[in-house]
Amino acid sequence: GRIYKPALKRTDDQNADATAMIASIRRSIQIYEPSAALRTFNESKATIYLDDVEKDRVRALIASGYLYAGKLDDAERLSGAAMRSSGTYAPLAGWVHGLTLWRKGHEEKSASSFEVAANSPYATGWMVSAASYWASRAHKEAGHNRRANNFLEKAASNPKTFYGLLATQALGRKMDLSWEAPRLSAADERAIITSTAGLRAERLLAAGEVARAEAEIRSLYIKGDAARKRALLAYAYDRRLPSLTLRLSHALSYDQNTITDAGYYPSMPWTPNQGYRIDRALIHAIARQESRFNALAENKRSGATGLMQMMPATAAHVSRTEIYQANEGRGLLKTPEISLDLGQKYVEELLNSPQVGQDLFSLAIAYNAGPGTLAKWKAERADINDPLLFIETIPYAETRTYVERVMANYWIYRMKFDQPNDSMVALAEGKWARYAAYDKGALKFADAR
């Protein structure tokens, strides 16, 4: 979407004060303190540095906090006021107003609010898709089938997003995905593997050191021209370097003739130590979001490490050994086969737990925010039996984004592996998305319903 340019000029200090105020408001929203967020907005000296549209954007943000905290009248009042005065420039206002009306049981009335968000030129691709999908749902509730279909078409215009995939499914269409491998010519291959970095990469690959080989090829990419970069992508794909394949595909995304879905959704060359017990599509979906397939990924703040971003305490819990909590053991989490094995065990444990019970949304929330947080959010939303409303009313933006990206990854990997996408079909019909195993030898779960 377009970037809004403020009407008021600000000094660097004023900008810093406004940014700090908004960060404080976001923190209050995360801990269910929307009234504290509103107080900050009303009392901060930084508020005068914002123009009218920016103020409405902040009001919409605070309204989302009231929605997450279940204070629906305040959410409706604040988002409605922001939408009426700056809706085109503040798409979040229409989005929050629509969700609040839906949460209050006024599904049919929510359509016009979602339309404001969907039609805003300042909305992101995700917002256009999401608000269009919800506008379609609202029109369907009201029996306006033609308008419902029009907004489904609009949602499907961002086809690889969570809502774009759901819209494509609801329209009864197949996704147009290309799994054609990038072509590596003999001349390009020779040029790469005879370079100093290429020789080192080949030796590392022979020793099973995929992540270090990727680092060598990255050094060639930095120095290469467009043709060389395309050749390096083809090489990365051919040698099954998933992290580098994904990174180069994004870097070359402007070149639609070169990049195929095979590059955006590569397959991992590794297998969990004890083989796959959970379907590859789900493990790939989580690894792609957690680490972008970088086996050496490490979050210095949380300690999450490796392909599946396992926390040392979680690794110790699922392995029933303390080794991963010691310094030398943490390095083992960067071994792909170990990370996949531990991550898979954790997924298996979560799917078997009463809190998750094979529900894919619950699984993704528990993996990202923890089982305790999942239990808390479920208790607070015990009256919600609409899976999409459930996910859009949880307070952590990071977790909402995580769930939707993992689900989109999962559905696309199901397509790649030519497997049924029953969870996508279920969600498009307003039902909960449940895990079902399709890989040969994968665990079958008892129905927990």
Could you report the per-residue pLDDT of 164-215, keeping only the tens digit for each? 999 999 999 999 999 999 999 999 999 999 999 999 999 999 999 998 999 9
- 145 with 38, same domain? yes
Alpha carbon distance 321, 128 (integer Å): 47
Average pLDDT, stretch 239-243? 96
* CATH for 287: 1.10.530.10
Nearest to 341 by CA among 269, 265, 277: 277
List the single range of 69-83, 100-114, 253-267, 301-315 with lowest mean pLDDT: 253-267
Residue 275 resides in a domain: no
Out of 171, 202, 230, pick the residue that ends a domain. Answer: 171
Dig out the tokens for 224 from the structure. Answer: 């290469």
In this model, does residue 59 exceed pLDDT 60? Answer: yes
Residue 2 resides in a domain: no
Alpha carbon distance 364, 350 (integer Å): 9
pLDDT grade, residue 90 (50/70/90)? very high
Number of domains the chain contains: 3
Alpha carbon distance 208, 30 (integer Å): 43
List the single range of 15-24, 300-309, 318-327 with lowest mean pLDDT: 318-327
- 136 with 211, same domain? no
Nearest to 133 by CA among 442, 396, 387: 387
Residue 436 resides in a domain: no
pLDDT of residue 449: 33
Nearest to 307 by CA among 326, 331, 285, 333: 333
Nearest to 398 by CA among 319, 326, 301: 301
Average per-residue pLDDT for the chain: 95
Average pLDDT, stretch 115-121? 98
- 58 with 163, same domain? yes
| Whether the predicted model's global pTM rises above the 0.75 cut | yes
Q: Which residues pair with 324 in a beta bridge?
A: none
- 27 with 152, same domain? yes
- Residue numbers of the domain that contains 328: 280-429
pLDDT grade, residue 447 (50/70/90)? very low
In this model, does residue 333 exceed pLDDT 60? Answer: yes
pLDDT of residue 328: 77
Nearest to 293 by CA among 371, 409, 433: 409
End-to-end CA distance of the chain: 42
Alpha carbon distance 412, 421 (integer Å): 9
pLDDT grade, residue 443 (50/70/90)? confident
Alpha carbon distance 182, 179 (integer Å): 9
In this model, does residue 448 exceed pLDDT 60? Answer: no
20-59 CB burial, b ≥16 within 10 A, e <16? ebbebbeebbeebbbebbbebbeebebbebbbebbbbbbb
- 360 with 298, same domain? yes
240-266 CB burial, b ≥16 within 10 A, e <16? ebbbbbbbbbeebeeeeebbbbbbbbb
pLDDT of residue 384: 97
The answer for 306, left when phi > 0, alpha when psi is -120 to 50, beta otherwise, is left
pLDDT of residue 256: 64
Residue 52 resides in a domain: yes
pLDDT grade, residue 446 (50/70/90)? low
Nearest to 66 by CA among 22, 107, 35: 35
Letter for the amino acid at 270? Answer: W
pLDDT of residue 259: 76
HSE on the CB side for 387, CA within 13 Å?
20
- 166 with 190, same domain? no
pLDDT of residue 257: 67
Alpha carbon distance 50, 270 (integer Å): 51
- 92 with 121, same domain? yes
- Render pLDDT for 146-162 as a digit per residue (tens, 0 to 9): 999 999 999 999 999 99
3-state secondary structure of 341: helix
Say if residues 242 and 233 touch (Cβ distance below 8 Å): no
- Render pLDDT for 374-431 as a digit per residue (tens, 0 to 9): 999 999 999 999 999 999 999 999 999 999 999 999 999 999 999 999 999 999 999 9
> What is 291-310 written as a DSSP string?
HTT-TT-B-TTT--BTTTTB
Residue 349 resides in a domain: yes
